[in-house]
Amino acid sequence: MKAKLPQLFLRIALGIGYLVPGLDRLGVWGKNGAPGISWGDWQHFMQYAKEVMQFLPASIVPTLAVTATIGEITFGCLLLTGYFTRRAAIGSGVLSLCFAAAMAISFGIVSPLSYSVFTVSAASFLLAIQPQYAWSIDQLRIKNQS
What is the DSSP-derived secondary structure letter of residue 88? H
- For 42-101, how does the pLDDT look when each residue is reduced to its tens digit (9 = 90+)? 999 999 999 999 999 999 999 999 999 999 999 999 999 999 999 999 999 999 999 999
Query: For the chain, where are the alpha helices, taking DSSP H only?
Result: 4-24, 42-52, 61-81, 85-107, 110-114, 117-128, 137-145
* pLDDT value, residue 14: 98
- For 105-127, how does the pLDDT look when each residue is reduced to its tens digit (9 = 90+)? 999 999 999 999 999 999 999 99
Q: Where are the domains of the chain?
A: 4-145
Residue 58: what are its φ and ψ, rounded to 5°?
-55, -30
CA distances (Å), origin 24, targets 39, 43, 71, 83, 129? 6, 12, 14, 23, 29
Model confidence band, residue 1 (pLDDT cutoffs 50, 70, 90): low
